Amino acid sequence: MSSTLPRVLLFGPRRSGKSSIKQVLFSKMSPHETLFRLESTPTPQHLLVDTNPLSQFELIDFPGDWSEAENNQIFKGRGTCFVFVMDAQDEPYDLVLSYMTGLISKAVKVNEGIHIHVFINKVDGELFLSEEAKYDCRRDVVSLVQEEMEQIPNLENVHIEYFLTSIYDHSVYESFSKVVQKLVPALSTIESLLNVLVERNGMEKAFLFDVASKLYISTDSNPVDAAGYELCSDMIDVVLDVSGIYGGRKNGNGIEEGLSEGASVDESTINQEEDKNGYYDSESCAAIHLSNGIVLYLKEVESMLALVCLTREESFGRRGLVDFNIGVFKDAIKKMIEVAGPK
């Protein structure tokens, strides 16, 4: 593994679901498969995530009994994120949170700039049927962590971000997206570009997605609506699935084959050449018109990067202008990648 890449350190007790999160996000394992296909993690597991040129990092999944007395050098590095996954259904939380604050104490001593995130996982059981129950759990965890950290010198001002997660919905994708964004050096620049794009085209929202993992690398500064985010995330699956059916594959003579005559998908344009990443390529493009007057619009930006926008029908009526402005955004992203150079 490359020592120059930023790292995401994944901690948590056994059965907390941290390895399930890793497999669902980066290995395309279905949530139900994780119930019987995964075993406990005996040693640290390293995974290189480099599907797109903007967010490349090393993910390290640590065993549930990893001792805070072991090598603390793993916390070093400018781009390091500490993610602790806890089981919201496994009460009481005292021992787990004591273990977590001990790790945080070690991490902060070695690296004051480390980003710390807590995933309150498995908020999908009978105990969490209402949103109120989920937020009550989050409030209890935050309160207990604050009490623990007040007893440890120099930890009272450490910033921790808390997320309610489940592998059975989009919450884990949205939460891990916010972790990955900490590792994107050009995040503020990309956000500014998205702000301009949204403003100039009268869009409601725009996301820059990693197609392989469905994590969003950046979005504009408008608030993220959960329902809108889910629609944009699901659109990636729709495009890949439909293009797998209707997309042409070029044979040895360079002639496309496998297309159904006259096949079309609403306003979608899906013309993708198969490669190791499937049917997503530089021509990938699709539009889905919803009954509420909103249009979902996806355009390829760069290798395994997709821009997914929410816009109104009247704004999308000027599609030529929208495509031109997206082209300007695409060129800016490519120049940014060229300037940054290879990792």
- Per cent of the chain over pLDDT 70 is 87
Residue 133 shares a structural domain with residue 245: no
Q: Give the span between the Cα atoms of 78 and 27, in whole angstroms.
A: 27
Which of 164, 181, 198 is where one domain is finished?
A: 181
Residue 129 shares a structural domain with residue 212: no
In tens, the pLDDT along 262-313 reads 333 333 333 333 343 556 677 788 999 999 999 999 999 988 899 999 999 9
Q: Give the span between the Cα atoms of 292 and 285, in whole angstroms.
A: 21
Residue 24 shares a structural domain with residue 108: yes
Which 3 state secondary structure label does DSSP give 241? Answer: helix
Q: Is the pLDDT of residue 74 over 90?
A: no
Nearest alpha-carbon partner for 160 in 88, 77, 100, 226: 100
Whether 163 and 196 have beta carbons less than 8 Å apart is answered as no
In tens, the pLDDT along 163-194 reads 999 999 999 999 999 999 999 989 999 999 99
**In terms of residue numbers, what domain contains 326?**
188-340
Residue 2 belongs to some domain of the structure: no
Which pairs with CB-CB distance under 8 Å and at least 24 residues apart come from 60-66?
A: 60/7, 60/8, 60/9, 60/10, 61/10, 61/18, 61/19, 61/22, 62/9, 62/10, 62/11, 63/14, 64/12, 64/13, 64/14, 64/15, 64/16, 64/40, 65/14, 66/11
Which of 162, 181, 200 is where one domain is finished?
A: 181
Nearest alpha-carbon partner for 84 in 142, 192, 178, 10: 10
Residue 175 shares a structural domain with residue 214: no
Residue 192 shares a structural domain with residue 174: no
Residue 226 shares a structural domain with residue 115: no
Residue 34 shares a structural domain with residue 148: yes
Nearest alpha-carbon partner for 308 in 205, 237, 225: 205
Beta-bridge partner residues of 294: 312
Residue 122 shares a structural domain with residue 223: no
pLDDT of the residue at 254: 46
Give the count of domains, the chain.
2
Q: Is the pLDDT of residue 248 over 90?
A: no
Which two tokens mark 77?
Answer: 């590095």
The single-letter DSSP state of residue 308 is E
Nearest alpha-carbon partner for 90 in 49, 56, 134, 120: 120
pLDDT of the residue at 343: 58
The single-letter DSSP state of residue 152 is S
Which of 181, 205, 229 is where one domain is finished?
A: 181
Residue 323 belongs to some domain of the structure: yes
Residue 239 belongs to some domain of the structure: yes
Residue 49 shares a structural domain with residue 163: yes
In tens, the pLDDT along 5-59 reads 999 999 999 989 999 999 999 998 999 998 888 888 888 999 999 999 999 999 9
Sequence-distant (6+) residues with CB within 8 A of 139 are: none
The single-letter DSSP state of residue 113 is T
